[in-house]
Every structure is written in structure tokens, then in C-alpha cells.
Structure 1
Amino acid sequence: MNAFPTDPPGPTTDGPASDRAHRPARAPSSAPYGDPARVLSARLAALHEPVATLVEQRAGTDPTADDPLRGLYLSDEAVQHLLDSWPSDAEDAAPGHAPSGPVPDVPQADPADRLARLAARTNLTELDTAVLLIALAPDVDRTFEPLYGYLNNDVSRRRASVSLALELCGVPAHLAAARGRFHASAPLLSLGLLELEDPERPFLTRALRVPDRLIGHLLGDDTPDAALLGLLRPMPEALPATGTDDFVRQLAARLKEGPLTAYLREPREGDGLAALASVLDAAGLDALRCAGAEDHVPELLREARLSGRAVVVPGLPEKPAALVRALTAATDVTVLLTDPRPYDPHWAPDDPLVLDAPGRRAGGAAAWRAALGPDADGFDLASAVAPYRLGGDRIQRAAHAALALAAFDGTPLSAEHVRLAARRQSASGLESHARRIRPDVDWQDLVLPDKPLVQLRELALRARHRDRVLGDWRLSAGGGRGRGVLGLFAGESGTGKTLSAEVVAADLGLDLYVVQLSSVVDKYVGETEKNLERIFTEADRTDAVLLFDEADAVFGKRSEVKDAHDKYANMESAYLLQRLESFDGIALLTTNLRANIDEAFTRRLDLVVDFPFPDPDQRLALWRHCLSRVPSAEDIDPEPLAREFELAGGSIRSAVVTAAYLAAGRDDTVTADDLLEGARREYRKAGRLVPGEGGW
């Protein structure tokens, strides 16, 4: 096709009079650098000339050119003119006086020439670009509407048709290659740049429409497609992520080479998105992060092509095949998918690059410090965030929430603000199977001998540094074993096992979830394992402490198989043994009798903490600790109670609660008699003889 002059005559609204050929040409102007709308206007100005030329050709030979009702009916003269204009043979089928193609010589180096950039990015041919310009002309310049209606010989059809576009481009309409540019698989239609309307009409008279979003883009409007409103989310900031440098560097280098479709399987929700944020930042690419895109894939891909950005889809739908198939088919766009599920080859005929996203390490103080800024200098940030494994944009959101909480309290940012915000970002589905406890205790509330106290502190220490010891120092046992922390608390009822679990959770800044065994154990075969799997899976992706209270029910010893019940009970134990090995969270088990726990479970435990029954000195400390917050008589002395009543810590607390109610009923302070009555009631509840009663 022949190129147009850089500065063609300006647009005109004159009718198809014969003297239009003698109108003066517009003076040349400088190239419209910097403004996309001016660049597009220059291209359309160049289009006026071939349109005007074609109109003049029609007017010179059409006997109905001056008929005011032209295009509304066919006169005898018009029919005869059509018959006379038929070519005598196939060689004359091409128009003899077709105008030149409408691709103006606007300098391609101008960054504001979005049509040229789009053509280069999507590999459009010169004919494709010309057709696109012809089709969008009436949407940008109204003077094209009546002219297109005249050339279509139908005043109601004011858009370019297939035949009109080809004629303006100087291409014969009977050529298969030319007609193929309007096929559904051709770039213009397959990339969503052009729509072919009126499928019931003959092919050549079908109207061409350019989507409004594309026109807006060419004019300089970067507002996303209306169909994507509410679906697009900003990418999280690229935060420092120790241990993922090699992954980020390798994938970023691959993205710089050209479009790529990749699938990242993430160990926890958000890990893949966090890694991609760092990768895209290293590659210097922007991205469209879209959730729920399954119904708007064409609009999403078109938006990516217009802006030159990558597509990021975190979290696939339950049935992802259709979405994955549509996205992987777009080989000209970088598409990055993340999901916890392994990639299934049945999802799409063309497999993406499948990678394992690096897991988010616990802690990540550098990422937290980058998100919190200088406000994090007033406390030990590394210790505060050590237990958390937040990924994606969760750290950024938690940091904003922590700063908002500090501003609300009117105090400087503290570790408690950070911990509270982090817990809220770790929303969990565990509550359907477990009871959540928000710890409100600390180490001062524990009255225990030195040995179990040291072990409990070690348990919290293991939870903080497991990534370094098992990961960086490569002390993991291998075999797919996780980096979980498992502990067993053994001791009589009331010796402080559950309270200790709550204290450990409080020290780590995590919520405690007490598993409700009644919602786990099921009489139907296999259902118990399914319920446990849901719990472990949710616990793996949640920063929390999981407590199996009275764990004998599910972690008991395997027995000799004598009937079907024994067989399936042993299968449950075998499942638990395997699942504990791959567990990445923090789980604590409590039992009243350590001997009831299968030895295979104890071998997989990190710590076994024995809670002894308190001796008299320990009981005295427990009495005094419970009374420390209760208004008591000045002469009260719990030493005789500690010596005479052999009560565990839980029973001592219950005795003090009873005494407190008795005192509150009198609107008085707690007396020695109140405490004595409370202790006696605990003995009676346990079915024991009360000192001073019943033959003591």
C-alpha cells in the first residue's frame, strides 16, 4: 500500500460536490509529539483524503448522487448503474481507482503514538492498522459518519463495513488473504481490538466496531475496562524476602526475555503473590492483579496488551480448567498464576512453566521494617514478628493496621500493636472445628517448677527459630517433613497444661485454637481423617497454636487388630503419624496419662513436658498467686490450706473463685473462712474426705 503524506488536507463536512477536488490544501504543521489524542487526530486527518477521493469517485459515476433519498431506495437508474459497473472478467475485479492506504507517516519514535506502539506490540500488519483506524474514525471524528453512510449507500449505516475498509485500503475484496484479516482467529478479532457486527448480513456489509476501551487508550485514557471494575487490585509492594534471591533473580531474567506463562504453587496462601511482587519489581514490569477473572478473560488480556503489563491471577476458582486454558492460550501476554494446588495437566493443552513458590519464612523483620518505617525503632521488632509467616500483601496491610491502632491509642507504635494487627491478618477457618482463645496471660501467671518452665520457654524458642535451624542450617530430617513444632503436655488434671499452652501462644503473639474432638471424631469410616486433614491444612496456613486437649482420643496407642473397629482405629493413627511429619504449624497435645500416647507419636514430638502435682510449697505459691488480685482480709494466710488440702492449680483457682463469690455476696473482702469453704467444696467435688468432716 502507498503511504499518505504526513500532513494531509484537513477534515471537511462538505457534500460530494465535484468542485471539492479544487479545494486548497491545509498548511503543514509540526509533528504532534507528547499528546496521544493529537497523534491520533493527525492519523485521522490523513484518512480524510482517501475518504473524500472515494466519495468524489462515487459522485462522478452514480446517477443518484444528487437524490436526497439516496440510500433509502433503489431507482431504475441505480439498478442499471450497478449492472453496468460489473467487471467483464475476473482480472477486472479489483477497483481501478482505489485510493492509497490510510497509514499516515507520523514519526514512529513519538512515544505518544499509541497506535504504532500497539501495532508493534501485537504484531499487527499495515493492513490491520489501517482497518483499525478506518473503523474507529466515526467514534473520534463525527465528520466521518455521513461520509461512511454515503459510501455504504445506506444513510443508517454510519460505520465502516468490511468492503468499505478494504476499498479505502486499496485491497480487492475477493482476495482470501484480505478477507482473512477479519477471521475470528486473526489478530484484530482474536486480540479483542475489533468487533464484527451484524453476523446475519453478507460478509462485506458487516459493520466494524472498535471497543470503547481501545479508543480511550489511543486517546490517552488509561482507565481500565469497565468490566474489570472491582476485580483489579494493586500488587503488593516488593518487600525484602531473605532466602528467595535466587528464585527472584532467575524468574526475573526469564521475564525480561519476553512473554511467559507460569504457574506458581504456593505452600501458603499469599506466598506466590509475595514472590511475584519481588520478581516483577526486579524485572521492571507492571502487572494487572485480578481476582475472579473467569468471566472477563478477553477484557483482562486486552487491558494487558494495551498497557504492556503482565497478568497476575492469585488463587484459581474451584474448577480452574476454563480460566487456565483461556489464559495460557495468550502467548503474547505474560500470565502468572498462583495457587496452593499442584498444577493439573488436564487444565490446558499447553502447559505453563510450573514452579514451586518459595515459602514465606517466619519473621522477616526486614520486610516488616520496610513496611513500618521509622516507627518500628522503638521496640524489638525482630522478636515481635518472629512467629508470623505472612505473605503477599499481608505484611503491608498488617503494618498499616498496626500504625492505625497506635494512632487510635495515641501512643507510639509498640510490639503489641504489631502482634494484634498480624493476628487479624491471619484469619482462619479453624473456628468450625476448634474454639479460639485470645490469650490474656503471660509467664507471670504460671506457677510451676523450674524444669517445666525451662521446657516451655524452649518450646517458644523453637517456634521462633525453626526456619533458621531446620531450613538455613539444613537440620530437617528430609523425607518431606515439615518445620512444625510439636509438644506434649502430660500431667494430672488441673496441673496447668492448658494454661501453659495459652501462655506459650501469648508469648508468641498467636491465637490458641482448642480442637473440639466431638467435631472431629466420626463414626463413619474415613470421616475422622477428613476432619483432621481440614484442621491441619487450615493450621498450616494460619499463624496460630493448635491445642489437642485430652489427646488420648485421637493419639492413643494402636492395638492388636481383633475386629473392624481396631482396624480402622489403627488406620486413623497411621494417618496422624504421616500428617504430623509434614505439619508446618505449632501443635500442642495434652494428656492426663502419658502412657496412653502411642510411642510412635512421642518420637515425633519436639518436647514432652511433665506437669507434676504441686507439693505444699508449690500449692502455697498457687494460693497466693490466685489471691493477688482479690480483695482479701489483712490477716489472711493460705499456708494451712496449702498444707492440709492437696489440690492442683486448677482446683485452687476454683476454690478462690468460690471464696470470691461468697465475699461479693456479703459485699465484703475474702476471709480465711471463705477460702476454707472453697477448698472443702473442691474436695467434695472430687469425692474425697474433707479434713475436719466425715471422720477425718
Structure 2
Amino acid sequence: MRNTGGEDMGADDAAAGRGQGRDEAAQGQALLAAVHAVLARLDNHAGHKAHGSDPAGSVQPTESTDLSATPAASSGPAALAALVDCFGLSPFERQVVLLAAAAELDPTTAARCAAACGDPERAYPTFSLSLAALGDPHWSALTPVAPLRRWRIVELDDESRLTTSRLRLDERILHFLAGSPYLDTRLHGLLRRTTAPDALPASHALAADRVAAGWAGAGGGAPLRVELVGGDFRTRADIAAVAARRSGLGLYEMSAADLPAAPAARDLLARLWQREAVLLPAALLLDVGDLDREQSAATGAFVESAAVPLVVSSSGPRRTARSRGERVVVPPLDADEQLGVWTDAFAAVPEVSEGDLRDLVAQFSLPPHLIRSAGASVARDLAGEDGQDATGLAWRAGLAEARMGMDELGRRIEPQAVWGDLVLAERQLRVLREITAHVRQRPTVYDEWGFAGTLRRGLGVTALFAGGSGTGKTLAAEVMAKELGLDLFVIDLSQVVSKYIGETEKNLRKVFDAAEQGGALLLFDEADALFGKRSEVKDSHDRYANLEVSYLLMRMEAYRGLAILTTNMKQALDTAFLRRIRFVVDFPFPGESERAEIWRRVLPARAPTKGVDPALLARLTVAGGSIRNIALSGAFLAAEEGDRLRMCHLLEAARTEYLKLDRSLTPAEVHGWV
């Protein structure tokens, strides 16, 4: 681009600017020369009309005008030659373009048009004048399906007056001929330019080669489109951008949701883009997400009409009976490729060792653009403050990038609880620690020791936490997430399950696809909403309900992190499901001694208390969740009175909690409290 800053422009930029300026000047001079040749034909036609010759309007050379080098024969500017070649313009259509350009470039054009047509009121180019004054005229050039009007190279002020209406050159075409190309402003807001990354991992570079080959191999009427599926959108865009660069094209991206549903508007957009794709030149990446039936039909029609390089981008294959073109699947990066991307991203952070990077690779499965973002974030943080833990920053950056797609799918808990906060029997604690070890040591056992090659399936770490409400299931998951340095995402299955066939699987797929980046421990709460549907198959709804359960367990087994189900209906599960879950942990209702310990841990040491006795409080037959509610409510009551926390405050809070549970306090539970 031309730099108008002058003094701030470097020597290389200044040289490039001068070179571009010379090119534009040469282009402009060549265009003006071609325009003047066409205007000379108008002058010649005006001379014949003045002498009353050639009543049919044919053009004959005069002695004073040399037309041996006609616009059709002269080379003209390179941009004009490209326009002619790309859109298949005839010699006559080429002259029409130049005549319309003359009206914008040469101030004498109006007078010369008026003289040539013999009407001072029509001082502008028209098709009628073109047919009469220009060489090799043919009527078919005027039709809406011919290049001039189909590709909106020229436009009519009034289409009801085909031959006598003013003929205008489209502004985008004028600037193209003058050597100042740009994206048509009518496409702004719909299309976005995509910049190709400097390099891709080897498997993604191979995918880019296949995309480019899909365009190059489409000949003889085959569609110039490729279906790119898998991975996330940004990864697909990077692959398509590299493929476009290797094909000598730019790349623009567009969402299929923005396509007009009305056929006429959609056809106009398609032709406008195809013209741009030829002029720039460029390819289009059309991202196809979740579309309704009407939008899906509009997308199919738009794709079918594409006659320029197109990439149809989606997370999975589209369902369509129409020709797809080449299908390219985005491959997942293997451990070595992941390590290479992390190493490149953290090249400016030498404090993060190769061992640290291997730990990051083992935990996270991020696309390259998110890894680069994490590396840039850590580099900025280290530059801003000395003495920071680079390894910890790298891990937190990985978590931040991994959680981006999860926040809208569940409730994120940043874990704070530790093992000491759990009040469980040693047997349950031992199983929880074993589960944690399975997650932490997966890379060692599966990859380094080779168990992944011999077992192949069921490598996910799955667990079922069974117990009543408030018995510590979520707290245990939080403790494990803290131990593993991960976020805890609580997914409420009662919100995921849908009465519509297929919707539950779609919702679950979104959860697991987002979680596959590795930064989360998944806790599926209220699993009864799904397992409660397990029944004898009596109709299609029963069959699909059972398929939903099977799909959930299948995805849990394949999930590279830890997925936990919670239920208070363990007895309702059949053994086939239990066999597919690696760990089952029972959370029993706490006994009196456990309840007393929970009370001791719930009451903070800094809280002002008087006469609060955990042994007496333990007589309340409630689980840990209710104990926390009573302790907190009692504290608020005491604070409101400006008093220390006493048993009377906890008694009032207990009455409120029991009302919520639809129970009544018994004399034995509160004996000796006040």
C-alpha cells in the first residue's frame, strides 16, 4: 500500500512505494491510450453522421483517423487484458468497457458521445451508441446472461430502456483497470481476509497440499471445491489459507449463516463473489456450522453454484446428495507434532524446559493457534514482571486456552479444596487417589510403556460417584481437579438431555469435543436424568434413550481426561453399564463421628463463636451439603445481631434447612443445645 507518512517510511518501503507508483502510472497511461482509441471511433462515427453517410450506422475509417490499431487488436493495459481473458469478453465487449471507462476518465467523452449520436441530450455512453460506433458489434452482448451484465461489469441506469439508458462502468471494475484493486465494498462485513501462518505441522501441511490438489485437479466441469472437515475452525482456516497461498490465491472466509435465504439475493451475492474471486484472485472458505433447514438449503445452493475455488469448512461431513468435491480430513496432531508446535511457540521463553513442554503436551491437546497464543501470553507476562514461575505460567496459559470452548457448556469451578477437606473413609480415599494416579500417569503407561497399542479401546478414565445429595461427590471431584491442576466443569445432564431424538447426542458431542483440548475434569451431575431412562425396549423412544446412555459411556471411555458421573440411583444401573465404568466410588451418608468432623472443618478458625459444640451439632442427621448451609446461615444470623455465633443461631438455621428438606427437627437431635 502507498505510505503517505513520508519521513517514517523506511528505505525498502519507500522503494516499494515508488515501484508501485510507477506501475500504477504505467497502467493508467496504457488505459488512457486504449480509451482514446475507442473515443477516436466515436469521433469517426460523428464525422460520418455529419456527412450524412452510412445510414445503417456502420463504421468506416476516415482519412484523418488511423484505426488500424483497434482496441481489439492493441494489447492495452495488463488489467484490461486480464479482464478480457477471465470473463471471456469479445472484442466488441472490450470496447464497451473502454467506452464506459472513458466517461469516468476523459472529460471530453460527454461532448463526443452527444456528437456521435446526434443528440445533445444523450451526452453519455449507451448500448445503442456502442452498436453504431464500435467495431464488431453483436446484439448478444446486451443480454443479461452475457459477461457484461452477468458479472455486473457495466450497469444500466434504467434497465427498462436497454439501448438508450446510460451505461456505467462498475466502480470496482474501474479501479481494477486503473491498477487499484480492493475487495468490493458490497462484500464488506460478510467476508474476512484470512492470513496464512508462516508454517504448519507436517500432517496439516499435507492436508493443505490435498486441498490445493483438489482445486488443481478439478477440470472438465468438475466443481472447484473441497470439503475440509475435522479440527476447529481456526485450524481449518489456516490449512485453507496455506493451500490458497500455494495456489497463488488469497483467502477470504464467510459464515454460511450469513447467506441470504432468498434465491435472487443469494444468486446476486454468488455472482458478485465469483467476480471478486477472479479479479483478486482469491478462494473462499465457507464455514458451515449448525444450520436450520432453510439455511442448509441456501448453503447447498450457494455451494452448488460456485465456479471458483471454494472450501466448505465444517466439524463433520455435510449431509447432501450433491457433489462434494474432494474431501480432506484435518488429522489430529501426534505427540511429536504437538511438541514441535509447543517448542516453537515457547522459543522466546527459555525458562520453560523441554520436560515442562512434554508435560504440557501430555495434558493438553490444543490446536496450533491456541498454543501460539499461550506462548505469546507467557512471554508477555514474563516481560512484565521478574521472578515469576515460567512453568506455572505456561500451565495456566494452557488452561486458559483450553477452557475457551467450555464456559458456555457447563459450570466451571476453579478448584480450591484439598484432600484434607474430605471427610471419607480410607477405602474411598484410596480409590480417589488411584483415579488421580490413572489420569496423571496416562502418558507414561499408554505411550512410553506401550499399553495404548495393546489395549486400543477403553483408554479413558471413567468413574461413577454414587451417593445421596450432599455426601461430598462434587467436593471429591474438586479435590481431584486441584490435585491434577485442572478446571472442574460440572455438566448438568438434566439440561443436556432432550426429548427430541438425536439432540441429546448432539449436546454431549459438543461437551466432549470442547473438553478434548485437555484442560478439564468433567463431572456429569444428575446422571439419573439419563440412566433413569434405561428400560425394557417397548417403543422407539425407549430404544433411543438407551442409545443415549451408550453414546455417553462410549465418549467417556474415549475421553483423554477424567469423566465422572454422579447418581443416587446406583441400584437402577444394569451391570452392562457398570462394566464400562472403570471406577465406582460409594459416598455413604456420614455417621455421627464423620458429621462432627465435618462441623469442625466447616467452622472457620477466625469466626467468633461461643458455646458451639460440634459433638452436639453432629446429632443432626444431615449430609455435608446441609451442614455447610446451616453453618453459613447461622453465621449470617449472628452477624445481623452483632453477636458471636452461638448454638441458638445454628438452631434457627437448622429449622430453615429442615423445612427445605421437608423434615422436622426431633427432640433428640437438638437436646442440650440451649
Displacement of 1:420 after TM fit?
A: 6.6
Question: Residues 567 and 34 of structure 1: is their aligned pair in 2 closer, same or farther, counting only changes over 3 Å?
Answer: closer
Q: Which moved more, 1:612-621 or 1:226-235?
A: 612-621
1:215 aligned counterpart, secondary structure? helix
Verify: 1:337 aligned to 2:315, yes or no: no
Amino acid across the alignment from 1:48: H
Q: Superposed, which structure 2 residues align to 1:626-665 within 5 Å? A: 626-627=602-603, 630-631=606-607, 649-650=624-625, 653-654=628-629, 656-657=631-632, 660-661=635-636, 664=639
Q: Can you give the 5+ residue segments of structure 2 that lack an aligned partner in the other structure?
A: 1-18, 261-265
Q: Superposed, which structure 2 residues align to 1:370-449 within 5 Å? A: 374=348, 377=351, 380=356, 414-415=393-394, 418=397, 421-422=400-401, 425-426=404-405, 430=409, 436-444=411-419, 446-447=421-422, 449=426
Per-residue CA deviations over 1:525-581 (Å, capped at 9, x if unaligned) read xx26555235314314433655433423421484557xx6x9855652233214542
Verify: 1:59 aligned to 2:47, yes or no: yes
Instruction: Identify which of 95, 114, 117 aligns with 1:152.
Output: 117
Question: Residues 226 and 284 of structure 1: is their aligned pair in 2 closer, same or farther, counting only changes over 3 Å?
Answer: closer
Amino acid across the alignment from 2:272: E
Q: Which moved more, 1:54-63 or 1:302-311?
A: 54-63
Verify: 1:577 aligned to 2:536, yes or no: no
1:542 aligned counterpart, secondary structure? helix
Give the Cα–Cα distance (whole angstroms) in 1 for the partners of residues 114 and 344 of structure 2: 61
Displacement of 1:160 after TM fit?
A: 2.9
Residue 505 of structure 2 aligns with which residue? 533
Identity level (%): 27
Displacement of 1:103 after TM fit?
A: 5.1
> Is contact 2:157-2:168 (8 Å) kept?
yes
> Is contact 1:135-1:209 (8 Å) kept?
yes
1:264 aligned counterpart, secondary structure? strand
Residue 211 of structure 1 aligns with which residue? 170
Give the Cα–Cα distance (whole angstroms) in 1 for the partners of residues 100 and 400 of structure 2: 53
Q: Superposed, which structure 2 residues align to 1:256-267 within 5 Å? A: 260-266=224-230
Verify: 1:101 aligned to 2:70, yes or no: yes
> Is contact 1:343-1:354 (8 Å) kept?
no
> Is contact 1:387-1:509 (8 Å) kept?
no
Residue 306 of structure 1 aligns with which residue? 279
Question: Residues 103 and 325 of structure 1: is their aligned pair in 2 closer, same or farther, counting only changes over 3 Å?
Answer: same
Verify: 1:45 aligned to 2:24, yes or no: no
Per-residue CA deviations over 1:384-443 (Å, capped at 9, x if unaligned) read 68666666966677777888899999996825762574366316654xxxx624334244
Amino acid across the alignment from 1:575: E
2:120 aligned counterpart, secondary structure? coil
Per-residue CA deviations over 1:175-211 (Å, capped at 9, x if unaligned) read xxx43344434344333433355433355x4554321
Verify: 1:35 aligned to 2:23, yes or no: yes
Q: Given the two structures, how large is their TM-score scaled by the length of structure 2?
A: 0.72
Residue 3 of structure 2 aligns with which residue? none
Question: Residues 280 and 62 of structure 1: is their aligned pair in 2 closer, same or farther, counting only changes over 3 Å?
Answer: closer
Give the Cα–Cα distance (whole angstroms) in 2 for the partners of residues 688 and 465 of structure 1: 55
Displacement of 1:446 after TM fit?
A: 4.6
> Is contact 1:46-1:104 (8 Å) kept?
no
> Is contact 1:557-1:597 (8 Å) kept?
no
Give the Cα–Cα distance (whole angstroms) in 1 for the partners of residues 452 and 247 of structure 2: 30
Give the Cα–Cα distance (whole angstroms) in 1 for the partners of residues 144 and 24 of structure 2: 29
Q: Which moved more, 1:532-541 or 1:671-680?
A: 671-680
Amino acid across the alignment from 2:188: L
Question: Residues 399 and 161 of structure 1: is their aligned pair in 2 closer, same or farther, counting only changes over 3 Å?
Answer: farther
> Is contact 1:312-1:335 (8 Å) kept?
yes
Give the Cα–Cα distance (whole angstroms) in 2 for the partners of residues 32 and 443 of structure 1: 65
Give the Cα–Cα distance (whole angstroms) in 1 for the partners of residues 431 and 570 of structure 2: 15
Q: Which moved more, 1:295-304 or 1:567-576?
A: 567-576
| Count of aligned residue pairs for this structure pair | 610
Structure with max Cα Rg: 1
> Is contact 1:462-1:485 (8 Å) kept?
no
Residue 490 of structure 2 aligns with which residue? 513
Q: Given the two structures, how large is their TM-score scaled by the length of structure 1?
A: 0.70
Per-residue CA deviations over 1:308-350 (Å, capped at 9, x if unaligned) read 111112236542334443444343x21112134633445x5x5
> Is contact 1:261-1:328 (8 Å) kept?
no
Higher helix share: 2
Give the Cα–Cα distance (whole angstroms) in 2 for the partners of residues 358 and 321 of structure 1: 28
Give the Cα–Cα distance (whole angstroms) in 1 for the partners of residues 466 and 394 of structure 2: 32
Residue 9 of structure 1 aligns with which residue? none
Verify: 1:228 aligned to 2:187, yes or no: yes
Residue 247 of structure 1 aligns with which residue? 207
